[in-house]
Amino acid sequence: MSLKNAHLLLNVFLLAAWGFFLLACRFYWMGNKPPNFSNSDNPAADSPSLITRTLTFFYLPAVNFWLLLCPDTLSFDWSMDAVPLIRSLADWRNFHTVVFYSGLLLLAWFGLWTHRERWNNTSRLKSTTLTSLAWGNLGNVLKSQGKMEGAEQAYRNALYYRSNMADMLYNLGLLLQESNKFSEALHYYKLAIGSRPTLASAYLNTGIILMNQGRLDEAKRTFLTCADIPDENLKDPHAHKSSVTSCLYNLGKLLHEQGHQEYESDVFKQLQHPPKPLITPCAYIRLNKLTEAEFWYRESLRAKPDHIPAHLTYGKLLAMTGQKTEAERYFLKAIQLDPTKGNCYMHYGQFLLEESRLLEAAEMAKTAARLDSGEFDVVFNAAHMLRQASLNEAAEKYYGQAASLRPNYPAALMNLGAILHLNGKLQEAEANYLRALQLKPDDAITQSNLRKLWNIMEKQGLRTTSP
């Protein structure tokens, strides 16, 4: 038994003992006899009529309650027949009794009804919450399995049961963005922000979509709003910091792509929060201030050591300044941070190509294209690297894949024609050259390549479409 319980039991025992002692003293002083009351002390109890006793005793609480509310009749002694007895049902005071007890019953009923409603509301809320969470979890599972349509419907069902859920709105927006439904994704990201204005990841993805749609001013405002979110009382401070860092990185990239390098470096140098220096290095590179750029890259990585774009761009800077070993270390670190990101292998492969390590570069190119097989830039650059490494058969495969990703892009068709030309597949090469010229009739390189191809085909006796 705990000390606290022992103390409580001791107090109860002392109280009981003291009460028993007082009761014994009273009996002693009264001559060890029970109290004797006169008839006038309680006339109702002394009445021989059952109906009189019943009606009077039911009436007395009503009288006392009325005196509590409105003490209009006062007396120094309520005994001695101060309240006349009620001897029949016809007494008008019975109406007071009925009203009083009806009020008590009504109050009791209202209390029970309120309690039941609260219990029902709580049960409904728990049921709705559980249902919403179940649909949300199902959406996460289906998304991880690549079943995007089922995941989308599950997220929508979750929102039906509980619409004000920032995380669920954000998850649905993310799914729609990955499904290239950008307008719908923007709608749900804005709802998520409305539900939780500190959700930095929603601002980040909103800004990226706006930037890709060419709505650059809106994108800049979104990134800046994200940067100004207070970092107190956050659900996930680490994720918030990462998203703010990415917002600022994209804002810096957008600024220096628009030629605002001086503005960018001057403004963001003054920002004191640790993630914000990530923006300035690219601006310094374009201004040819490589020492300042290197300093800011180090600051960036100190503030955000797992930021992959900073590793890749710093690796490029180190390679540019002749620090090859250190540059390679940063490229490898980027790959280590996310081995599933084809873009990391692509940058490393380009570095290896520049170092004339052709076979290694080719392997990186193949890995990049395999991991990001749906990304045109990655696949197209992989084909370029393989071609530079004289691996023309592999290059042909990836040029063909790039052309299938963008079938109306003249450069993709022209390069596919060129590699087919080199690989001796002349008629296929001709078809791709002609398709490229349909899309871009004044392209001098494609026209020159096509004339050379026709000369070879005529020498080999092959039929051409030459006019």
Q: Both tokens of residue 177?
A: 């963005």
DSSP state of 424: T
438 lies in some domain: yes
Residue 160 covered by a domain: no
Considering Cα of 304, then 309, then 311, then 316, what sign does the dihedral take? negative
Query: Is 444 found in the same domain as 375?
Result: no
Q: Is 0.75 topped by the overall pTM?
A: no
Residue with token string 């728990």: 126
pLDDT score recorded for residue 106: 92
Asked, for residue 397, whether it belongs to a domain, the answer is: yes
CATH code for position 445: 1.25.40
CATH of the domain at 316: 1.25.40.10
Token reading at 387: 């071609």
The Cβ of residue 318 has, within 10 Å, a number of other Cβ atoms equal to 21
* CA–CA distance, 239 with 243 (Å, rounded to integer): 6
- Domain-embedded: residue 444: yes
d(CA 279, CA 328): 22
* 422 in Cβ contact with 392 (< 8 Å): yes
The two three-digit tokens of residue 369, written as one number: 């294209």
| Residue finishing a domain among 406, 424, 445 | 406
pLDDT of residue 4: 59
Specify the length of the chain in residues.
467
Tell me: do 324 and 393 sit in the same domain: yes
Nearest to 245 by CA among 233, 235, 231: 231
Is 77 domain-assigned? no
Average pLDDT per consecutive 10 residues, the chain (467 residues; last block may be shorter): 71 90 85 69 78 88 87 66 82 91 90 76 49 59 69 64 70 83 88 86 90 86 84 74 77 67 46 44 59 68 76 81 86 88 87 86 87 86 86 89 88 89 88 89 87 86 71
377 with 323, same domain? yes
> Within this chain, do residues 314 and 374 fall inside the same structural domain, yes or no?
yes
Is the Cβ–Cβ distance between 25 and 16 less than 8 Å?
no
- Please say whether the beta carbons of 192 and 202 come within 8 A: yes
- Domain ranges, residue 439: 409-467
With tokens 């749906």, the residue in question is: 374
pLDDT value at residue 158: 64
Count of beta carbons in the 10 Å neighbourhood of residue 233 = 7
Looking at the fold, whether 382 and 460 belong to one and the same domain comes out as no
Distance in angstroms (rounded) separating the CA atoms of residues 417 and 452: 12
Residue 53 DSSP symbol: H
Same domain, 397 and 313: yes
| 1: helix, strand or coil | coil
Residue 341 lies in a domain: yes
* 204 token code pair: 């980040």
Residue 149 in any domain: the answer is: no
Question: How many CA within 13 A on the CB side of residue 152?
Answer: 16
**What's the longest Cα–Cα distance across the chain?**
145
Within a domain: residue 432?
A: yes
Are residue 397 and residue 437 in the same domain, yes or no?
Answer: no
Query: How many whole angstroms separate alpha carbon 342 and alpha carbon 44?
Result: 97
- The structural domain count of the chain equals 2
Shared domain check, 399 and 427 = no
Tokens 């990391």 map to which residue? 344
Question: 262: closest CA among 279, 287, 292?
Answer: 287
Domain boundary among 406, 421, 455: 406
Residue recorded with tokens 């792509």:
257
Q: Is the same domain home to 441 and 370?
A: no
What type of residue is 73? T
On whether both 312 and 378 belong to a single domain, the answer is: yes
What is the predicted pLDDT for the residue at 18? 93
User: Rg for the chain (alpha carbons), in Å?
Assistant: 43
Query: Which of 362, 391, 406 marks a domain boundary?
Result: 406
pLDDT given for residue 381 in this prediction: 86
What is the structure's pLDDT at 138? 62
Based on the fold, state whether residues 319 and 393 are members of the same structural domain: yes
Shared domain for 396 and 377, answered yes or no, is yes
pLDDT value for 316: 82
